[in-house]
Structure 1
Amino acid sequence: MDFSMWMISNYANTQSAILGLVVIVSCWALFRLQRRNADKLPPGPMGWPIVGNLLSLNSHVEELFAKWNKKYGPVCHLKFGSINFIILGSLEAVTEAFVKKGEVFNDRLHNTMPGFDSDSGIIFLSNGPRLKEQRRFGLSTLKMFGMGRKSLEPKILELCEDLCDELDPFAALREPVDVRPMICERISGVISQLVFDKNLPKHDDEFRTWTHVISNGTKYSGINMLTMFYPSLKIIPPFRWGAQETKRLELKGRRLLLKQIEEHKLTRDSKNPRDIIDCFMQEMADRESNATPDDHGFNDAQLLGMVRDLFLAGTETSSTTIYWAILFLCKYPEYQSRLYSEVDAVLHQRRPSLEDGNRLSYSKAVIQETLRMRPIAPMAVPHVANKDAEIMGYHIKKGSFVAPNLYRILHDEKLWSEPEKFDPSRHLDVEGKFVKHPSLIPFSIGPRQCLGMQLANMEVMLFLVSLVQRFSFEVPGVDEIDLRGKNEIVLRPHPYKVLIKRR
């Protein structure tokens, strides 16, 4: 065969292969569409065989999912491997799933995220009596030690003052500084007071380093998310490296937390509980002495898991929100000036208080606009359907992951005028009073709403007002910073340094 005939033959073979592939993919897509229609599955973008919609994902899935909800509707179906993934892009859809049908869409994924499991703690615990008992205990105990109440205020304000004192030398030198580690340390100090009855991050360098890592994530945080949908990836680099790094951090955290738990066992006074650990141990003792047949998870493993979850969720949410707020205030200095004017008019020279909340309307508006623009967990933690059910008339199969698309809801142009614009005044009425929008749900809703929501609101308000009362902030080159941030399950700002000036 001469060269020309060889070329013609191979070209024909290549054409045949491409045509065959197109036919196969087209038939598969048609089959999926017919099956979707037959099963009343929600609409959504077509994916590829085996991998599904994986190849469409990018570094800002919150924006991509928002586009898909806008195109396909408030209940959108995706496929990741064998997993059905449902994204809910409206308040109505989220309310139906997580409030009206909360008992159905209330499970969690099982042992697929590196470093976490569904056997202990609260965040990844599946639905049932155990979860309800643990949430009841967690919420009542947090309130006992001051969440949402004035009794916790002095401890938070002490940490606010401590943060401002650390920033003072940078203000004097006009030296740019990354404030995130300092904020993280103080926020974790609040959690530490509630859990350990002491500010452990201030006195234990190893514990402080661990809290910084869990708050900032690692270089593997993004790829770890994929292992939720493809657990087998954990044996393949770089996913294996991410799983190993997360496991190492988990073991380090476990060792640090167990040390504190063991100290509590030796020093606990059953009549005078000092903190959450003491209360949990007392609950364990009471159930054991009463021979309760089902302890609903009141055991050592659950105690460790709960303490871990309190630090993971409590440190990240508040510290990242404050970090975002400072960046937005530097981007829009006119809003920073207005915020300071309100703080000065209401407080003068005294420290802020929770009782000032009703008079600090613009401060609350800035915080709420920050949470609207950049929700910390834009897809929250996915729920799992524990049986076949429907959402807005669409069939949802048992085992489907169901996630609230908080980013879409908080950027829906039908709900928010110019949703991509940072504008605190949208949260004020004509008299300048703060008004909470019904669709403003950065902590999600339903039985699995963030347990520490009230604590986060307390912390962010007192810390931000304390900072603005004492300093003004400026970020050199702020216009060059990508304000979209980076999504590694948690939506964080890119690191930046701020110039601080004493007011």
Structure 2
Amino acid sequence: MIFDMTITPGEVTASLMILVMVFVFVRALGSKGRKQVSLPGPWSFPILGNLLQLGDLPFLTFIEMRKKYGDIFLIKLGMVPVVVVNGMEMVKQVLLKDGEHFAGRPNMHTFSFFAEGKSLSFSVNYGESWKLHKKIASNALRTFSKAEAKSSTCSCLLEEHVIEEVSELVKVFAKLTSENGSFEPRSAITCAVANVVCALCFGKRYDHSDEEFLKIVKTNDDLLKASSAANPADFIPCFRYLPLQIINAPREFYQALNQFIALHVRDHLTTYDKDHIRDITDALINTCHNKYATTKTATLNDAEIISTVNDLFGAGFETVSTCLYWTFLYLIQYPEIQIKIQEEIDRNIGLKPPRFEDRKILPYTEAFINEIFRHASFVPFTIPHCTTKDTTLNGYFIPRKTCIFINMYQVNHDETIWDNPSLFSPERFLNKNRELNKSLVDKVLIFGMGIRKCLGEDVARNEIFIFITTILQQLNLKKCPGAELDLTPRYGLAMKPKPYQLLAEPRFGSSES
């Protein structure tokens, strides 16, 4: 017998309306007697909330709302109340002073895809187990990203991997220019940075044309794009039961990435030798086996090791590759700044390969990097936070499990902190002695702050420094004659610039030397 399974558009619409009505009814019953957020904010539509008001760049919309409602205000994204936090003082209150009160993650549908909600970055549960998880991951990362001062020539594994990959990138840039005249640099940048992460996590690098490597880089990119898109199931929970691509795509991409990483981690579990720690994965296994094996303290199981490597892998090259993609755009937009950086490199380093320790003798270069972080603000928000208990903020009551958005872009463009914030000027970070103003550097928000601050900030800063200084030591970057460059970002978890072309010409003869 054959059954007709055809579903008409009218049936889909009717089913959806019934589902929404049932959910609203259940939600209304459940909200009786529950403490509510009491904050100023814009009027919102039923069901949709303020979703239609956000525009293409929500962080700019929130800056406009701040003018009317103040540093903290309430919006509704779908049916979820969200407290938006602006202003350095309020951000410090949330992330530092009362950090424990705001250290949770909201129970979003998208977050549940990542290691079934147990990912270090996206875990909803904040407590002793999470703190131990973070400590183990931090120690493993530190093991391979810090140099041991045994001799003047000693460097860390991370530094060696970065130097190797940026040397390859110089050759790729020069080759692409000689063959094509100009090129779009994003793919080459992403492959180089991804290789650093692969070497650090798995002790392995890939050729830029390797099919497996390119596939996993694309999968990670697809995952980030899918996660960056507004997932209706995050804010209108009844949508999570609908078989729609926009809702379930992040899970599919995450599972594909997880399979790649799980394969490498399981291989490490099989070949692990406590006397020969090869990379971060071995370091995680070693820490779990040795330090906590004889205690009753909870530690990471194999699945959690996989999810930790997954966190480090994904975050490890997205922030750095996005920053470099912006950096090369700014360098060809402001060639006079590029010349100043090259003059500082020539004067203080010469032709020797740049090292992490050279950051302290290249203050203008450091100022430039911090101005990229501030001006581009390519990570406009922290990952959403959530209150872990009933609390107050600026005199307003905020109940437990309230979703919190931190507008880092606003802080980075706050006129009370930055003189003429729309102007791109690395000099703002230098004092009268042309030294780096570290107190001003601390006001730049890109990695977050406090309990949930990005673990890889030091790694990212060191890596970005080596890529920029090595590229500019050996190459002149130029825009195509007559090209108009656009610094308007494309919104996402990490905002990218619009595609652009550049030329890379060797400064001192052939780049192969």
Aligned equivalent of 1:87, options 55, 76, 84? 84
Q: Which residue of 2 aligns with 1:19?
A: none
Report the Cα distance in structure 2 between the residues aligned to 1:158 and 1:169, rounded to whole angstroms. Answer: 17
- The letter for the 2-side match of 1:466 is T
After TM superposition, the structure 1 = structure 2 runs for residues 44-193 of structure 1, keeping only pairs within 5 Å, are 44-113=41-110, 115-117=113-115, 119-125=117-123, 126-147=125-146, 150-151=155-156, 152-173=158-179, 175-193=181-199
Report the Cα distance in structure 2 between the residues aligned to 1:226 and 1:478, rounded to whole angstroms. Answer: 42
**Aligned 8 A contact 2:191 2:208 in 1:** yes
Cα distance per residue 1:259-297 (max 9 Å; x no partner):
11121122111222212222222344347852x44524x
**Aligned 8 A contact 1:376 1:490 in 2:** yes
Aligned equivalent of 1:434, options 433, 436, 441? 436
1:311–1:50 CA distance, 2 compared to 1 (3 A): same
Report the Cα distance in structure 2 between the residues aligned to 1:148 and 1:121, rounded to whole angstroms. Answer: 28
After TM superposition, the structure 1 = structure 2 runs for residues 45-444 of structure 1, keeping only pairs within 5 Å, are 45-113=42-110, 115-117=113-115, 119-125=117-123, 126-147=125-146, 150-151=155-156, 152-173=158-179, 175-200=181-206, 204-215=210-221, 220-234=226-240, 240-286=244-290, 289-290=293-294, 292-296=295-299, 298-436=300-438, 437=440, 438-444=442-448
Deviation at 1:348, TM superposition (A): 1.5
SS of structure 2 residue aligned to 1:432: coil
SS of structure 2 residue aligned to 1:178: coil
**Aligned 8 A contact 2:333 2:485 in 1:** no
Report the Cα distance in structure 2 between the residues aligned to 1:288 and 1:133, rounded to whole angstroms. Answer: 10
1:226–1:61 CA distance, 2 compared to 1 (3 A): farther
**Does residue 1:459 correspond to 2:463, yes or no?**
yes
Q: Which residue of 2 aligns with 1:30?
A: none
1:200–1:277 CA distance, 2 compared to 1 (3 A): farther
**Aligned 8 A contact 1:207 1:256 in 2:** no
- The letter for the 2-side match of 1:72 is Y
SS of structure 2 residue aligned to 1:473: strand
Deviation at 1:478, TM superposition (A): 8.0
- Judge which range, 135-144 or 448-457, deviates more: 135-144
Aligned equivalent of 2:484, options 480, 488, 494? 480
Cα distance per residue 1:373-421 (max 9 Å; x no partner):
1223211101111221111211112111112210000001111111111
Q: Which residue of 2 aligns with 1:11?
A: none
- Judge which range, 369-378 or 211-220, deviates more: 211-220
- The letter for the 2-side match of 1:71 is K
- Judge which range, 42-51 or 458-467, deviates more: 42-51
1:289–1:454 CA distance, 2 compared to 1 (3 A): closer
**Aligned 8 A contact 1:476 1:498 in 2:** yes
Report the Cα distance in structure 1 between the residues aligned to 2:337 and 2:62, rounded to whole angstroms. Answer: 30
**Aligned 8 A contact 1:197 1:275 in 2:** yes
Report the Cα distance in structure 2 between the residues aligned to 1:328 and 1:205, rounded to whole angstroms. Answer: 31
Report the Cα distance in structure 2 between the residues aligned to 1:307 and 1:219, rounded to whole angstroms. Answer: 20
**Aligned 8 A contact 1:105 1:385 in 2:** yes
Deviation at 1:427, TM superposition (A): 0.8
- The letter for the 2-side match of 1:196 is F
Normalised by the length of structure 1, the TM-score is 0.86
Cα distance per residue 1:471-495 (max 9 Å; x no partner):
1112337863431210122211112
**Does residue 1:42 correspond to 2:39, yes or no?**
yes
1:145–1:223 CA distance, 2 compared to 1 (3 A): closer
SS of structure 1 residue aligned to 2:337: helix
SS of structure 1 residue aligned to 2:100: coil
- Judge which range, 334-343 or 62-71, deviates more: 62-71
1:389–1:288 CA distance, 2 compared to 1 (3 A): closer
Cα distance per residue 1:203-256 (max 9 Å; x no partner):
85223332244247666454344432224334558xx21234322211211211
Deviation at 1:460, TM superposition (A): 0.4
Q: Percent identity?
A: 27
SS of structure 1 residue aligned to 2:304: helix
SS of structure 2 residue aligned to 1:79: strand
Normalised by the length of structure 2, the TM-score is 0.84
**Aligned 8 A contact 2:177 2:183 in 1:** no
SS of structure 1 residue aligned to 2:101: coil
- Judge which range, 363-372 or 437-446, deviates more: 437-446
RMSD: 2.4
1:60–1:343 CA distance, 2 compared to 1 (3 A): same
Deviation at 1:39, TM superposition (A): 6.8
1:397–1:480 CA distance, 2 compared to 1 (3 A): farther
**Aligned 8 A contact 2:447 2:453 in 1:** yes
SS of structure 1 residue aligned to 2:454: coil
SS of structure 1 residue aligned to 2:189: helix
Cα distance per residue 1:350-381 (max 9 Å; x no partner):
11112221221111111101100122321110
**Aligned 8 A contact 1:185 1:211 in 2:** yes
1:201–1:148 CA distance, 2 compared to 1 (3 A): farther
- Judge which range, 427-436 or 169-178, deviates more: 169-178
1:145–1:374 CA distance, 2 compared to 1 (3 A): same
Report the Cα distance in structure 1 between the residues aligned to 2:395 and 2:211, rounded to whole angstroms. Answer: 54
Q: Which residue of 1 aligns with 2:500?
A: 496
